Structure 1
Amino acid sequence: MPVMIAASVLLATALTGLPSSPVPGAAAGAGTSVVPAAATAPNLRACHDGRCSLTLRKSVSFRVSSRFGITRLAISFTSHSVRVKGTGPGVSSQALLGEGTTGSVNGIGVRVLSLSSGKAVLRLTPVR
């Protein structure tokens, strides 16, 4: 029975033109599709101490140590600028940076290494 099901799935896939997934009992390589690897998400937990390198493809928000006087850092970007906003209980601070510039938000230094419409590369370092 499993061979007949596998053959039916392969036949239906061939008739519809949709990519198929591997089916148990199917011949190796027959009807399999290759799925591209997903882009690696940045390790935002590594930034908790204010020291990390980030390659961003979308806006992010993450917790930082309260020693900076803030508890959360939010980073968004366009092809022209990076907005870094730090918030905490009763506190809000932000910096607007361009490619190649350096700034800081409550003791967290931010350097914009490269910037495009789809990607921002940043380095964070504590400045106090």
Structure 2
Amino acid sequence: MPRTIAAAIALAASVAVIPVAAQPAVAKPAAVQQAAAKKAAVKACYDGRCRLTLTKRVAFPVDPRFGITRLTVDFTADIVRVTGSGARAMSRTQIGKGGSGSVNGIGVRVESLSASKAVVVLTPKR
């Protein structure tokens, strides 16, 4: 047997093969888990009914029955801005802590508000 073939066989014999099922599960990083949780939370808002705890600006699709197809929510320490947009429409409201308003048939209530976090409740009005 030529020397290179013998070396290749020896190398192959020293490599361990671990079946996929036996490999330990790799935990998802916390950031990936949080992003998945946030996606699930905003998906629940499609029908205009949800409670969001926000730490940064968020935008998500909503049911076209509201006359808009996307809702964007951002905030400062003093105000929550909610903007609804669609192909031919745009609607915006600004709400302070404890206040309420609406954007194209979606009611918005600000439960709590600080510089780092806002809790907003959406309720369909249509």
2:124 aligns with 126
The gaps in structure 2 that reach 5 residues or longer are 1-28
Taking structure 2 as the reference length, what is the TM-score of the superposition?
0.70
Measure the CA separation in 1 of the matches of 2:42 and 2:114: 20
Match of 2:88 among 76, 87, 90: 90
The gaps in structure 1 that reach 5 residues or longer are 1-35
Q: Deviations over 1:18-57 (max 9, x none)?
A: xxxxxxxxxxxxxxxxxx9558443100000000000000
SS of residue matched to 1:89: coil
SS of residue matched to 1:47: coil
2:15 aligns with none
Deviating above 2 A after TM superposition, structure 1's stretches of 4 or more consecutive aligned residues are: 36-42
2:99 aligns with 101
2:48 aligns with 50
Measure the CA separation in 2 of the matches of 1:68 and 1:94: 13
Taking structure 1 as the reference length, what is the TM-score of the superposition?
0.69
CA RMSD of aligned residues (A): 1.5
Match of 2:108 among 110, 117, 120: 110
Work out which of the two has the higher radius of gyration on C-alpha atoms and give 1 or 2.
2
Instruction: Count matched residues.
Output: 93
Q: Percent identity?
A: 58
1:6 aligns with none
Measure the CA separation in 2 of the matches of 1:49 and 1:127: 11
The AA in structure 1 aligned to 2:48 is: G
Measure the CA separation in 2 of the matches of 1:50 and 1:85: 13
Report how far residue 90 of structure 1 moved: 1.0
1:76 aligns with 74
Is 1:66 the counterpart of 2:71? The answer is no
SS of residue matched to 1:48: coil
The AA in structure 2 aligned to 1:46 is: A
Measure the CA separation in 2 of the matches of 1:103 and 1:44: 19
